[in-house]
Amino acid sequence: MSERKVKVLHIDVGGCEGCASLVLRTLPLLRSNFEIHSKYLMDEVSLTERYDVALVTGSICLDDEGEVSKLRKVREVANIVIALGSCAAVGGVTLFARGGQEPKPEHRVWQPIGAVIEVDYVVPGCPPAPVAIKTLLENLLSGKGYFLNVFASAAKMRKFSGYDLMDDVVLTGLCVGCGACVLSCPTHALQMIERHPDLIPEKCIRCGTCYVRCPRASQLLIKRFPVKPKVLSGQATEVVARD
């Protein structure tokens, strides 16, 4: 175990802040090994010092130059960048935004943060469970790259939803009828019909949770994008790629 705590930066760039509150809810699970720097916990968060890991929540508004520039700065100062929650990971519900809303009607184009910077891991979920953050960070620290593969591979795809689950798994005959996708959907957009899921399109918020929870789709992701996940070294100061 590292002698010092792993330095984790949390930045929220847009969205409903539900995932930001998730980071706060996870704090009691992280305190022993991780030091969290978040605007919700301190007066000011520095973007000039270095961090081992950055957790980014919310999707990025491409019309907001200040937020885009902040996001680029995060990439410069963090060894590992994690898009936490569906908006940061795949755009999620913000992909339906078309602008015209107060207080900033000029904000029209929202994208997952991977549209602006390279992302090492994505964790879809609206919001994800606190234990997902804890497990991911602990595996980064212990160097167990195998458990991280799906989240690293998913970072290369950027967009996936219930439509992709239908196209890639159900309509190709790969579905084994386990029901994990139905249980994971936050909006009940999936229903089992004759032992296979069916999508209710108007309920799908494009959060991507079902896709990474599906044992078949997650294996497809790993095969399509065979990346070596970055993990923290034993001293939590350098980053190495693991098979």
**Site residues, ligand SF4 (CB under 6 A):** 161-162, 165, 169-170, 175-181, 184-185, 187, 189-190, 197, 199, 204-210, 214-217
Beta bridge partners of 198: 191
Q: Which residue, 36 or 204, has its beta carbon nearer to ligand SF4?
A: 204
Q: Could you tell me the two tokens for 223?
A: 């095969």
Least Å distance, CB 209 to ligand SF4, is: 4
Residue nearest to ligand SF4 (CB): 162
Q: Which residue, 43 or 202, has its beta carbon nearer to ligand SF4?
A: 202
Pairing mode, if any, of strands 34-38 and 6-12? parallel
Under a CB-based contact definition with an 8 Å cutoff, are residues 58 and 97 in contact?
Answer: no
Q: Which residue, 184 or 237, has its beta carbon nearer to ligand SF4?
A: 184
Least Å distance, CB 235 to ligand SF4, is: 38
Q: Could you tell me the two tokens for 86?
A: 């569906």
Under a CB-based contact definition with an 8 Å cutoff, are residues 87 and 93 in contact?
Answer: yes
CB-count exposure of residue 107 (10 Å: 0-12, 13-18, 19+): middle
Q: Which residue, 178 or 227, has its beta carbon nearer to ligand SF4?
A: 178
Least Å distance, CB 38 to ligand SF4, is: 26
Which helix (H) or strand (E) element contains residue 51?
Answer: strand 51-57
Least Å distance, CB 145 to ligand SF4, is: 24
Least Å distance, CB 30 to ligand SF4, is: 26
Least Å distance, CB 239 to ligand SF4, is: 30
**Nearest alpha-carbon partner for 96 in 126, 66, 70:** 126
Quote the CA–CA distance of 194 and 131 in Å, as a whole number.
32
Q: Which residue, 23 or 217, has its beta carbon nearer to ligand SF4?
A: 217
Q: How many residues does the chain have?
A: 243
Under a CB-based contact definition with an 8 Å cutoff, are residues 177 and 126 in contact?
Answer: no
Q: Which residue, 182 or 239, has its beta carbon nearer to ligand SF4?
A: 182
Quote the CA–CA distance of 5 and 33 in Å, as a whole number.
5
Residue with token string 């602008």:
99
